[in-house]
A and B are shown apart, each in its own frame.
Chain A
């Protein structure tokens, strides 16, 4: 197998008597486009929370580029290139997109602690932020307060903030959640246009999108990995049809 950028080894997590992660071992090679699917309550977001450090696993390890990051906090993992987006917009309502993305770049480059220099003196960071916003079709609204942006634009800003950290691994938790179907195509064209060396793991419910963007699919059921395979294999697997596709009447 190719060199894995992100690896989890035997992750376990329980909330009381509920086992939300059961021996999860997955591996993301460089440039991966993996989808994480499973019925509601399968533990998809929990897995992302475990990988990014919002939750601590009871057992198991998380390796980033071969290095054990299990003991690190969320911010430290982000600085090493492990970044996520949120299913529910988690933005800065009164900052403009330009400010928010500049902030993320400032944190990445270690500029955010400099209280003696004006923001405008970090011209490179501001220009980079604007460039990123242009790339994500947000240049038009770059100087408006985030709370006044359309919902779909806020979803794009979620991704822009994550990209500003220059991730090696990007975890997208339902990037198109709540976005109308025609707009979700736009969102995923942005995902499709991400730099090829970034490894992407995304959660998505729309099977058409999953099958057109994922090169591999991980199926999660009741906190455990049911199977991991190419889309064609997953599509035709009777177990998957039974627990997931069948009940959701997709595919």
Chain B
């Protein structure tokens, strides 16, 4: 680890240096543009990665920064997906941007209501509550077949061109551009949040929740706020999926999706935002490649990958890289 001790450093300059853009981040975003030219056949996968990355960032905000472990975040992803989907399929409104905003607002609102329960439980009970809420939502959507289409999925979603200009094409150029732009925006917002005084308070909660009241912190209120923000972002990610695939499957609410997003985050590294993006890319590219080898047992490879990372790179791939390059966290 590099020596960060500079006794006579201006403290403000040091604080500022903590939120600077690292070089690799700029490279990462440039690399995100490569599929347009280099791998146009993989644009659909790239779009899927962008959506999963946004979802993973939303989970990183609560898991990586505030220490809330969740196994039910698909609840908000699915809520967003169904909001955008139903808006088009049942109400005939297919304008994408307003659909995204509405989906985010609704998921955020539900997240805020749920947060009153979330901040009152910890550890194992917390995981069980998030899991239970996720399963509950799944079964609810399953039961409301008349509205959601149940296991058949929601059909008849049709998304209008973005800004009335850019039609969704068969190859996924528009879908990936759209998803990438929303991911970047979500990333910028998240980055702002984690580098704020509020973000510092969240790290304080993660580091030692017992001390927080002793420095006068109303830490439950902080947690409720970030939980609602995270839920809204997950909802936007879900809406993106609905709009770019023009269908909503019951799977958007599944436990599998809640678990996968946590796996992505652990692969990439928690509490650093970029880990969410890298993790989503690794997970989905690995799935794509492994499914090509053996469509039935591809999860075997993911399992191995997860174990290797957890055992040898406990802070995820990004944590390992930053140790290698001597950059402190």
Contacts and interface: CB of A to CB of B under 8 A. Distances in A.
Interface of A: 52, 73-75, 78-79, 83-84, 86, 90-95, 98-100, 102-104, 106-108, 111-120, 122-123, 125-127, 129-130, 139-144, 161-162, 164-165
Contact of B225 (A93, A115, A127, A140): A115
B12 A112 contact: no
Given A75-B219, A127-B11, 9 more contacts: A90-B214, A95-B204, A103-B200, A107-B201, A113-B198, A115-B198, A116-B193, A118-B192, A125-B197
Nearest to B16: A120
A116 B6 contact: no
B323 interface: no
Contacts of A125: 197
Contacts of B210: 90
Contact of B213 (A73, A91, A119, A143): A73
Contacts of A106: 197, 200-201
Interface residues of B, number: 41
B12 A127 contact: yes
B9 A143 contact: yes
Question: Which 4 residue pairs across A and B have the least CB separation, nearest first?
Answer: A78-B216, A115-B198, A92-B207, A130-B11
At the interface, is chain A mostly helix, strand, loop or mixed?
Answer: helix
A96 to B, nearest CB: 8
A75 B5 CA distance: 32
Contacts of A127: 11-12
Given A103-B204, A144-B5, A120 B214 contact: no
B296 interface: no
At the interface, is chain B mostly helix, strand, loop or mixed?
Answer: helix
B200 A102 contact: yes
A126 B195 contact: no
Contact of B15 (A74, A78, A126): A126
A241 to B, nearest CB: 35
Contacts of A99: 15, 200, 203
Contacts of A108: 215-216
A86 B216 contact: no
B325 interface: no
B214 A129 contact: no
A152 B187 CA distance: 40
A94 B203 contact: yes
Nearest to B212: A75
B123 to A, nearest CB: 19
A95 B6 CA distance: 16
A165 B101 CA distance: 39
B207 A75 contact: no
Interface in B191-242: 192-193, 195-201, 203-204, 207-208, 210-219, 221-222, 225-226, 229
Contacts of A113: 198, 201, 221-222, 225
14 contacts: A74-B214, A92-B208, A95-B207, A107-B201, A115-B193, A115-B226, A116-B193, A117-B197, A119-B195, A119-B200, A127-B12, A130-B11, A142-B11, A143-B14
A138 B217 CA distance: 23
A130 B198 CA distance: 19
A111 B195 CA distance: 13
A119 B215 contact: no
B12 A114 contact: no
